[in-house]
Amino acid sequence: MRHATLKENELALNNAVASVEMEGYSVPPGDKALCMDVLNGKMSKEDFIKILLERCRV
């Protein structure tokens, strides 16, 4: 199975963000960076979820 390239990951994320924005929501730049880290294998999905849950607890 072929892994997506950095450019493909960026395109997929930008498409997802555009979809969210069309619904009237926004994605903070920091969250986009976290998503890219997951997509590029620099962070696990579990760690990503932990970070987002911690933000909700504050």
pTM of the model: 0.79
Burial of 2 (0-12, 13-18, 19+ CB in 10 A): exposed
Summarised one tens digit per residue, pLDDT across range 5-54 is 999 999 999 999 999 999 999 999 899 999 999 999 999 999 999 999 99
Residue 3 has a pLDDT of 84
Residue 4 has a pLDDT of 87
pLDDT at 2 over 90: no
pLDDT at 58 over 80: no
The amino acid at 10: E
Q: Which residues contact 36 (CB under 8 A, 6 or more apart)?
A: 9, 10, 13
